[in-house]
Structure formats: C-alpha cells, structure tokens
Structure 1
Amino acid sequence: MNLPEQPATFRPAEEGDLAWWWRCEDAAGAEVDVPEPYAGQRFANQGDAESWVGEVFAELAAEGVDAVTLFEDQRRVYGPMSLHP
C-alpha cells in the first residue's frame, strides 16, 4: 500500500528547508568566522533563527562578533543588529 507523502510539518527538515541563517560581522561590517558549534547554523524558519541567536548572542560576542544579519537564502531580512547593549 502506498501512502501519500507526509505534510512538511510531520517530516524531518531537509537541507533545502533550512533557508534561514545569520551572517556574523565585526564592527566594520566584515564577515567574522566563528568556531563550531556556531558556524554554519541554518534554520527552518525566522522564529527558530531568532530564538537561537537570542540564546547564543553572548557567546558570539565573546568570539569577536559585533553584529549579526539575518538572511533567508540569499535575501537579507534585516540587520546588521548589534550584539552589544
């Protein structure tokens, strides 16, 4: 018996589904390379991306990140957003 494909909300996210990501920047706006586990993080939606950066912003700042910019695929959504008070 063949069952229909599960809806997106019930199947694990695939690489193509993880379109949201943060670019880490220094004070001049240049991209900053950050170590694992912060590098290369991708998210299924904007809320997940924002929650993640809210949880790790202090660690990113300690790695030399001054600001972050949110992207959906190649589209800049907003930023740069400072990680400092």
Structure 2
Amino acid sequence: MSGEWHWRSERGGLRVGGATRPVGTERFPTQGEAESWLGETYPDLLLSGVNAVSLYEGDRLVYGPMSLEPGEH
C-alpha cells in the first residue's frame, strides 16, 4: 500500500471514534519520516494542547490514538 502519511489528533483526550483534526499540514512519503517528525515535534504539540495522535496512511488508520503525555502509553 502506498500513500501519504499524516498525523491526526484529538485535542484534550484519547477519545476513540470521535472527530479528529490534522496535526499540522505535513504529509510524508514514508511511515518512518512521519514518525521521525513526530519525535522531533511532540513537545511543541503538547504545549499547543495536542495530547494524543493517530497515524494515517491516506484514509487508513495505521495506529492510535497514542498519548504524547510523559509516562502514558
């Protein structure tokens, strides 16, 4: 499967099945690039109120929601 990879968030909680929002406007050609970007930017995302994200390839949910809070998995 090939497509663009991107992150979506649920601001304020880990609600499954609810409406999500794009995390930034970045789109990535590979899963690894998307994960590297998240690893570099998650502190800023937390400060802006994003505390959980999900990774998508196109419209397909790959995994998540995943907490960005320290100590939560």
TM-score range, shorter chain: 0.7 to 0.9
SS at match of 2:24: coil
Q: Deviations over 1:24-82 (max 9, x none)?
A: 2221534356xxxx621100000000000000000001010010000000000000010
Q: For residues 40 and 18 of structure 1, do their structure 2 counterparts lie closer, same or farther at Cα, with a shift above 3 Å needed?
A: farther
> Which runs of structure 1 show a deviation greater than 4 angstroms over 4 or more consecutive aligned residues?
none
Normalised to the residue count of structure 2, the TM-score between the two structures is: 0.78
State percent identity of aligned pairs.
48
Residue ranges of structure 1 left out of the alignment (5+ in a row) = 1-16
SS at match of 2:46: helix
Q: CA RMSD in A?
A: 1.9
Q: Which residue of 2 aligns with 1:57?
A: 42
Larger relative contact order (CA 8 Å, sep ≥ 6): 2
> Which letter does structure 2 place at the counterpart of 1:79?
G
SS at match of 1:43: coil
Q: For residues 72 and 32 of structure 1, do their structure 2 counterparts lie closer, same or farther at Cα, with a shift above 3 Å needed?
A: closer
Residue 78 in structure 1 maps to residue 63 in structure 2: yes
Normalised to the residue count of structure 1, the TM-score between the two structures is: 0.67
Structure richer in strand, relative to its length: 2
* Matches of 1:72 and 1:66, distance apart in 2: 20
Contact 2:14/2:52, CA 8 A, preserved across alignment: no
